[in-house]
Structure 1
């Protein structure tokens, strides 16, 4: 199956492709368009990380360093800016985090469709993230379930419709899920271990995770639990698909903002 259903980033790139076509010499206009689109989304994600840091009561300096660490990561330069659609998923997951931290729950459904059209894995990650955040929110407000439900329904429908399945939405989605099942050749646990020992995982987290975990206790506990849950789901998906190092892209999109800001807090305030 092709990846033509991940249409948001290519759609954002199309105007720049048309602008560059025939005007940029030997450059590939399609790749130029994708680079510009990914750059816009990556820069916007860094801005969102800064805003999230301020919402988490960090200083502007710490928040700015957090955005810088996010951009400096291996994942951004080698994947997000290299023609992959992960820049879109990273941005909309960051917007989900910002919406939750700023108590703007009504914005969750707004990110559902563009996030899911950026990358289909946004749908389960964002939904589980919001559910865990909601479950750990105090005081507990049952009324917020409507916004989480809107996020879940719109995300799910966007993914199923974008797949354009020939056998209907339900059976098409089921067929796609079965097609992604690739762990049976090596076993589920071994596939999971292969995801966590792939060199790409260490390229992304070799410095970010140790620095971030030192100050993880300074982060919002709802955010920590939500990130942990979505990270675990990404592990399951990675093992199910035997995705090897590709799973690191999802790991970073989920945990990158949290660990970048925690690491920034350590670097800018060695003695809290």
Structure 2
């Protein structure tokens, strides 16, 4: 928080806009970043209290770090809960949470000063926890919070929940209440994005307006031909994907298939906007936890 200014660092351009959101509000930020209000607004009280109290530390980035740390810690706890529920083994669950925290994406994105990915990842995990424990009625509330954190949460969570529902329906039979919860979650998320962006922009913005505005004419082949994609994917998934995929079949199919489907949806979103440099980050948000638990299960099996 005083070693460098994230606003000037390569690869952290987003932090400029999130800094503005904390200090001045949406009217001072630009682009789609100004609609990702959850973490910056939670950081505001910390920023106000920290002013003049933390010596050389920057109060805005201190506030963002505290909130990101809160979401990251919650994610780690949820990984333990989900891992134990999936495999009934606390050793595997704790190791999976450790592997999750050790990932490049956590230290360099979740806890990077001026990012908001930790909120999206935490709320995807909360979504999985709600479905794992039968608390489907919580999904609409999670959908609202996720839409406030990052607009990409809405399509990713819809794909995640629909896939989970399809798998569990095949296993346990159809329940109207589950389908209703998923539908209401999707509607609530879309409505939140619509109201939020319309309020900040001063005119009505519909979900399809957002999609069309983000659409790029860049061909999918050119979109994938990016130096940053290669490095980002290697840093995040070089060891996690091969180890995690090997043992994925031992985890609940609902969680595994939902994570895979949402990761593919993240890739599709990257192609849609014509830039996939951020795709590994989004893929980790939805698939990182299940791959971490799967890797932990494999390592514990090798050890035994």
Shift, 1:18, TM fit: 1.3
1-structure distance, mates of 2:225, 2:123:
28
**What residue number does 1:140 align with?**
173
Written as runs of structure 1 = structure 2, the 5 A alignment for 1:1-272 is 1-82=31-112, 83-137=114-168, 138-143=171-176, 144-164=178-198, 165-170=201-206, 173-182=207-216, 184-185=217-218, 187-192=219-224, 194=226, 197-270=229-302
Q: Which has the higher contact order (CA 8 A, sep 6+)?
A: 1
Shift, 1:58, TM fit: 3.4
Q: Secondary structure at the match of 1:103?
A: coil
1-structure distance, mates of 2:186, 2:32:
24
Q: Is the 8 A contact 1:227 1:255 kept in 2?
A: yes
Q: Is the 8 A contact 1:116 1:155 kept in 2?
A: yes
Shift, 1:142, TM fit: 3.4
User: Can you list the C-alpha shifts for 1:179-210, whole angstroms capped at 9, x where unaligned?
Assistant: 3123x23x123314549952111100001111
- Which deviates the most, 49-58 or 30-39? 49-58
Where structure 2 has 5 or more consecutive residues not aligned to the other structure, the ranges are: 1-30
TM, length-normalised to structure 2: 0.84
Count residues with an aligned counterpart: 268
TM, length-normalised to structure 1: 0.93
- Which deviates the most, 20-29 or 83-92? 20-29
- Which deviates the most, 86-95 or 1-10? 1-10
Q: Secondary structure at the match of 1:168?
A: coil
Please provide the CA RMSD for this pair.
1.7
Q: Is the 8 A contact 1:109 1:148 kept in 2?
A: yes
Q: Is the 8 A contact 2:194 2:204 kept in 1?
A: no
List structure 1 segments (4+ residues) > 6 angstroms apart after TM superposition.
none
User: Can you list the C-alpha shifts for 1:23-48, whole angstroms capped at 9, x where unaligned?
Assistant: 11121100000000000000100000
Q: Secondary structure at the match of 1:174?
A: helix
- Which deviates the most, 87-96 or 260-269? 260-269
Where structure 1 has 5 or more consecutive residues not aligned to the other structure, the ranges are: none
Shift, 1:169, TM fit: 3.4
Shift, 1:7, TM fit: 0.7
